């Protein structure tokens, strides 16, 4: 997969909904009902972070949910990429970007949303053909004002801000012309997941989906 094709597919996925749920799932038994609730609520693109031992099994379980597009987050090494693709991930998300990670995603034909926090990082990725990026960590890097400032000289780059994004501040990002969507974990809070409150999660997803107008 070329960088141009990867970026185009990442852009398509980011356009599916205004919010991409960022999911940390400890129990694979929660995977399918969680994905079904989020998809039913209008959030089809799902990022499962590789931060738990169950993550790859969770991706495999979610990959079978109708209407969902499951991706792997926290990709750091080429081995992460290979494992995520084998588990059924349809896209990848990384906190930053290295040559090795990008090469692995292109070799595995896994569309990548690479992370950038500065204009220099964004320009380096643009030079490689990536114009749909993750802005991370969003709030710690200056929030919406910083992303707006980066967008002024680099209007050809689109972003998905993640890290500190909430229902309360999401619109400050989504209102920017260089923001396609935002990543957030609030739509799947740990207490509701542990309690199996799928109806409650579906409602949170509906509220988040409505941010797109």
Is 4 designated active site? no
- Catalytic position from the list 47, 106, 108, 202: 47
d(CA 56, CA 51): 10
- For 83, the 3-state DSSP assignment is helix
Per the listing, tokens 């229902």 go with 167
Is 47 designated active site? yes
- List CB contacts of 133: < 8 A, sequence separation 6 or more: 113, 114, 115, 116, 122, 125, 157, 158, 159, 160
Residue spans of beta strands (DSSP E) within the chain = 19-23, 45-49, 69-73, 91-93, 112-113, 115-116, 132-135, 158-161, 182-184
- Catalytic position from the list 36, 106, 108, 134: 134
* Residues noted as catalytic: 47, 134
């Amino acid at each position: 997969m070329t960088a141009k094709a990867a970026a185009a597919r990442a852009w398509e996925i980011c356009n599916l909904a205004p919010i991409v749920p960022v999911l940390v799932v400890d129990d694979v038994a929660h995977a399918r009902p969680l994905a079904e609730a989020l998809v039913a609520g209008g959030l089809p693109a799902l990022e499962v972070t590789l931060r738990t031992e169950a993550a790859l099994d969770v991706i495999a379980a979610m990959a079978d949910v109708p209407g969902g597009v499951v991706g792997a987050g926290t990709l750091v090494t080429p081995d992460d990429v290979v494992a995520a693709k084998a588990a059924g991930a349809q896209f990848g998300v990384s906190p930053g970007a290295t040559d090795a990670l990008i090469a692995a995603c292109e070799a595995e034909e896994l569309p990548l949303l690479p992370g950038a926090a500065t204009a220099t990082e964004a320009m380096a990725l643009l030079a490689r053909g990536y114009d749909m990026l993750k802005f991370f960590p969003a709030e710690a890097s200056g929030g919406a004002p910083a992303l707006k400032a980066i967008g002024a000289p680099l209007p050809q780059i689109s972003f998905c801000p993640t890290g500190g994004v909430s229902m309360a501040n999401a619109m400050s990002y989504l209102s920017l012309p260089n923001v396609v969507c935002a990543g957030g974990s609030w739509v799947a809070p740990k207490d509701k997941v542990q309690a199996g409150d799928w109806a409650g999660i579906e409602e949170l997803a509906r509220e988040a989906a409505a941010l797109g107008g």
